[in-house]
Amino acid sequence: MTDAFTYQGGSLHADAVDLATLSAEIGTPFYCYSASAFRDSLGELQQAFNGIDPLIAYAMKANSNQAILTLLGKLGAGADVVSLGELERAIAAGIAPEKIVFSGVGKSKAEMRRGLELGIHCFNVESEPELERLNLIAGEMGQIAPVSVRINPNVDAKTHAKISTGKSENKFGIPYERAETVYAEIAAAKNLRAVGVDMHIGSQITDLEPFDNAFALLAELVTRLKAAGHPIAHVDIGGGLGIVYEPLAHKPDIAAYAALVVKHIAPLGCRLVLEPGRWIAGNAGVLVTRVEYVKTGAERHFVIVDAAMNDLIRPTLYEAWHDIAPVTEPQPDSETMTADIVGAICETGDYLAQNRVLPKVVEGDLLAVKSAGAYGAVMAGTYNTRPLIAEVLVDGDRHHLIRPRQTLADLIGQDDVPGWL
Ligand code: LLP
């Protein structure tokens, strides 16, 4: 995958658009995505599975802007949705219902009704009570709900604890040992039909071994379920393939990942479903921010920028490391500094990087926080009454504001004061 964010003429560009020019036009901070980077990452995945015709159900929780969904949908992607909101977003972006899988542990009745009404590909069911509810609702609607049970294999994904989902202590899926009983219940239920089996063991997985172990278990189970007569037409292996955040880090090999999947899943004779999120979106976006102050504390230097943890919470929440580069290209002999890069929020946890060595910056300089295309804008909030920031999509030399900066009037205007105060 070629990097869409490169220095050209001394300034960092997204495709052919200068981030300094863009900053002057729309103000900072903002997210900037590259359409070519999205095309490349999805294309690489499609290429790796060439000949198998998988359903790539993009895990849109990673980045669900309508423009991004439209772009990916036109390239053939389906969607993995986890809420009514995501379902409506996918439909609004033109993604066909039969390419949508619905995941998540807490599906409401309204979400089930809407999924059934639209005719989505399947519900990835995560518990026995959820199956019961779905059976009931499908019955009320005179329908047969297509289901795929999410299996929890109790495999250690070797990733951050907060994004590990396939261990027995996690809330996700049905224990592996109960799977066959649950499929027997589905077969006996009047308004359910088992169409697949599903698994997702975690996110930002860079070591292929956990996948190897999980897919082996999954394949064994599917073989047993098919032998028992269950009409398993697809196998959904979830998402989770990690990306490179640190320039010199070990890069998960997409071809090796695909080979692993094919080794375990192809012999089953089922259609493959994938739910990648970060792999597609992560390196397709940056967060552009401006230095407000450079402050020298008693022990450390602080670069105080106009973006904060409410805009990108990953460093605070997962101790995530994002590369941070000055928009103006540093010279090889540029002086460096070691600093914490922090926002203006009144929380000690409000930082984008700690103890980071970077070329010396001064007030007014622009910085790009890299690999912010996944789980960036979608996880933003308005803490400290900071409006949601703008999002821009670049394609070649074109750019478009795909979400304007929220205004203070929007934000404050949502509150309502009772007349009796
Ligand atoms: N499928 C299911 C059922 C999921 O729960 C997830 C992610 C995915 C697919 C996509 O996983 P990916 O390919 O993106 O790894 N906010 C965290 C990541 C949370 C992931 C939650 N589930 C972060 O910023 O690292």
Which of ligand 1's atoms lies nearest the C-alpha of 204? 15
Triad 273, 279, 282: Cα angle to 5° = 145
Instruction: Look at residue 252 in the predicted model and tell me its pLDDT.
Output: 82
The per-residue pLDDT for range 369-393, each reduced to its tens digit, is 999 999 999 999 999 999 999 999 9
Cis bond upstream, residue 29 (ω within 30):
yes
Whether residue 150 has its Cβ less than 6 Å from ligand 1: no
Please give the pLDDT value at position 313.
98
Cα(264) to ligand 1 centroid in Å equals 22
Which residues does 257 contact at the CB level (< 8 Å), separation at least 6? 48, 208, 211, 241
Range with lowest mean pLDDT among 4-18, 25-39, 247-261: 247-261
Architecture of domain 5-33+283-413: Beta Barrel (2.40)
Coil, helix or strand for 280?
helix
Mutation probe of ligand 1 site: the residue of 61, 126, 160, 204 with most atoms within 8 A of C-beta: 61
CA distance 340 to 354: 4
Give yes or no for residue 252 CB within 6 A of ligand 1: no
On whether the CB atoms of residues 117 and 88 are closer than 8 A, the answer is no
Active site residue 32: no
Mutate to test the pocket of ligand 1, among 203, 206, 312, 375 (most ligand atoms within 8 A of CB): 203
Give the neighbor-by-neighbor strand order of the sheet with 5-8.
5-8, 11-14, 17-18
pLDDT, tens digit (0-9, with 9 covering 90-100), for 36-91: 999 999 999 999 999 899 999 999 999 999 999 999 999 999 999 999 999 999 99
Q: How many of the other CB atoms lie within 10 Å of CB of 279?
A: 27
Cα–Cα dist 286/265, whole Å: 35
Is residue 400 a contact partner of residue 87, using CB atoms and an 8 Å limit? no
- CB distance 242 to 159 below 8 Å: yes
Is the shortest distance between the CB of 239 and ligand 1 below 6 Å?
A: yes
Pocket test for ligand 1, best of 45, 206, 261, 278 (most atoms within 8 A of CB): 278
Nearest atom, ligand 1, residue 242 CA: 15
With a cut of 90, say whether residue 168 has pLDDT above it: no
Query: Is the CB of 264 within 6 Å of ligand 1?
Result: no
What is the spatial distance between Cα 55 and Cα 271, in angstroms, rounded to a whole number?
8
For 164, residues 6+ apart whose C-beta sits below 8 A from its C-beta are 156, 157, 170, 201, 202
pLDDT of residue 169: 80
pLDDT of residue 121: 98
The set of residues, in sequence order, having a beta carbon less than 8 Å from that of 279 and lying 6+ positions away, is 41, 45, 239, 241, 242, 243, 254
Quick check: CB of 371 below 6 Å from ligand 1? no
Q: Alpha-carbon distance 374 to 366, whole Å?
A: 21
Residues facing 193 on adjacent strands: 146
Complete DSSP assignment for 3-39? -SEEEETTEEEETTEEHHHHHHHH-SSEEEEEHHHHH
> Per the structure block, which two tokens stand in for 277?
């999120």
pLDDT for residue 389: 98
202 CA: nearest ligand 1 atom = 15
Q: Would the pLDDT of 1 be above 70?
A: no
Ramachandran angles phi, psi of 383, nearest 5°: -50, 145
For CA atoms 17, 20, 26, 31, the dihedral sign is positive
Whether 399 has a pLDDT exceeding 90, the answer reads yes
Q: Could you give the residue range(s) of every CATH 2.40.37.10 domain in the chain?
A: 5-33+283-413
Select from 3.30.1360.120, 3.20.20.10, 3.90.1150.10, 3.40.50.720 the CATH code of 35-281: 3.20.20.10
Q: How many CB atoms lie within 10 A of CB 283?
A: 25
Tokens of 81: 């949705």
Q: Ligand 1 pocket, 200 CB below 6 A?
A: yes
**Does 148 sit in the ligand 1 pocket, CB within 6 Å?**
no
Give ranges for CATH 3.20.20.10 in the chain.
Answer: 35-281
**Of all atoms in ligand 1, which is nearest to the CA of residue 103?**
3
β-sheet bridge partners, residue 342: 304, 351
